[in-house]
Amino acid sequence: MPSFLRCLLIPGTSTISFFMKISSVRTMRKTTALRRLLKKKEFVYMPVAYDPLGGRLLQSIGFDCVYTGGFVTGGSRCTSEPLLTMDEQARVAGDVAAAIDIPLVVDGGAGFGEPLHAMRTVREFIRAGIAGTHIEDQLYPKRAHYHKYVAHAIPRKEFAAKLRFACKQRDESDPDFVIIARTDTCRSEGLKEAVTRVNMAAEAGADMGLIFPRNDEEMRKAPRQAKIPLVYVISRGNRDGRPLPTGPQLADMGYKAAIDALTYLLVSFHFAKLAHREIKRTGGYTGLTQQECVAARHDIETLVGLDEFYEIEEQTVEEKKWGKR
């Protein structure tokens, strides 16, 4: 439950306090919060989450922004990222965004079509409570071979046109919504082409750029050559040797933000696999003590907001208070 609603249930909370809080919530949009964050902080780290619990966990740890990527959405639904629809991505990211107080950036793929489709994508993302998106220059419909690093790019002018109309929709629907121009051409055509495309996107109105440098040299050059701030994608598990720098290293190079696109999914899958292999093999699990399991469950219940649910029931339908869990 949003914190500003709790005062309706807690005796002694003033009406003035309530309306001050609700007014604050109404006036601070997630898009505005992201704009302010990018302006205020030298560097923003965006870890990935694909469900509401993951989003709340990352927020509780202290991150300022969360990211929902196409790979984690597709993988968690047992399909390929290129097969996702705009509705699926908006729904998954929107569910995460609704569960957290910090802004969320979502993978917008290739805008799910041509310029007209990209405009609707921006509208639907804004409606879902999402604060920003990146739109790329891959051919649409996308192909599963993308995961083999076979990316088919549309011509420069088509990419610039798609970004221009996406930005037009941004300006009409919510000027604070952040649009990131992503190009996948660095791998196949080199840094010069990738930077050229990002700079064309900047002229079309994009707020930030996203390039996939192939090595340390390109990683350092890119921010100096781009006309707009760059986002770097940290892809743990990538198979093409792209660098995996730390956040502070990226900040020193001049990057404005980093997307950590895979860690949450990889770690969750890896340790769930190990745990259940042990259970299948032995019938038991020794990876966590019972005390650690109790603590983990308590943390989950805290993030879900179980204490607030108890409080409501004890003020309404429960005849007595049962004490702390």
pTM as predicted: 0.89
Average pLDDT over residues 17-39: 70
Taking 90 as the threshold, does the pLDDT of residue 28 lie above it? no
Asked whether the beta carbons of 111 and 69 are under 8 A apart, the reply is no
| Terminal C-alpha separation, the chain | 19
Residue boundaries of the structural domains of the chain: 26-269, 288-325
Is 26-269 a domain of CATH 3.20.20.60? yes
* Average confidence score pLDDT of the chain: 92
* pLDDT exceeds cutoff 80 at 19: no
Range of lowest pLDDT (144-153, 186-195, 231-240, 301-310): 144-153
- Please report which confidence band the pLDDT of residue 319 belongs to, taking 50, 70 and 90 as the band edges: confident
- Considering only 142-156, 167-181, 210-224, which range has the smallest mean pLDDT? 142-156
3-class SS at 274?
Answer: helix
**Average pLDDT of the segment spanning 229-254:** 96
Residue with tokens 């051919």: 139
Percent of the chain's residues with pLDDT above 70 = 91
- Residue 297 in tokens: 């469950």
212 vs 14, residue with greater confidence: 212
What pLDDT digit, counting tens, does each position of 289-310 carry? 999 999 999 999 999 999 999 9
DSSP string for 97-166: HHH-SS-EEEE-TTTTSSHHHHHHHHHHHHHTT--EEEEE-B-SS--GGGGGT---BPPHHHHHHHHHHH
- Structure-token pair, residue 233: 């994608």
What is the token pair recorded at 15? Answer: 């009406």
Long-range contacts of 137-140 (CB under 8 A, 24+ apart): 137/110, 137/162, 137/182, 137/183, 137/184, 137/185, 137/197, 138/109, 138/110, 138/184, 139/110, 140/109, 140/110, 140/111, 140/112, 140/113, 140/114
Q: Would the pLDDT of 7 be above 70?
A: no
> What strands, in cross-sheet order, belong to the sheet with 257-260?
44-47, 257-260, 230-234, 208-210, 178-182, 132-136, 104-107, 66-68
pLDDT of residue 279: 98
Angle at 115 between CA 111 and CA 120, to 5 degrees: 60
Predicted confidence at residue 324, as pLDDT, reads 67
Strand ranges (E), the chain: 44-47, 66-68, 104-107, 132-136, 178-182, 208-210, 230-234, 257-260
In this structure, what token pair is assigned to residue 50? 């694909």
Q: Across residues 227-246, what is the average pLDDT?
A: 96
Does the pLDDT of residue 238 top 70, yes or no? yes
The percentage of the chain sitting over the pLDDT mark of 90, rounded to a whole number, equals 84
Q: What is the pLDDT of residue 146?
A: 77
pLDDT of 128 above 80: yes
Residue 67, burial from CB neighbour count under 10 angstroms (0-12, 13-18, 19+): buried
Selection from 220, 110, 116, 233 nearest residue 168 by Cα: 116
pLDDT in tens, 271-295: 999 999 999 999 999 999 999 999 9
Tell me: pLDDT of 121 over 90.
Answer: yes
What is the token pair recorded at 104? 């969320």
| Residues written for the chain | 325
Beta bridge partners of 68: 106
- What are the structure tokens assigned to 216, written together? 């340390």
Q: Which residue has the tokens 């986002």?
A: 231
Comparing 49-63, 103-117, 137-151, the range with the smallest average pLDDT is 137-151
Going by pLDDT thresholds of 50, 70 and 90, the confidence category of residue 15 is very low
Q: Is the pLDDT of residue 70 over 60?
A: yes
What pLDDT score does 198 carry?
Answer: 99
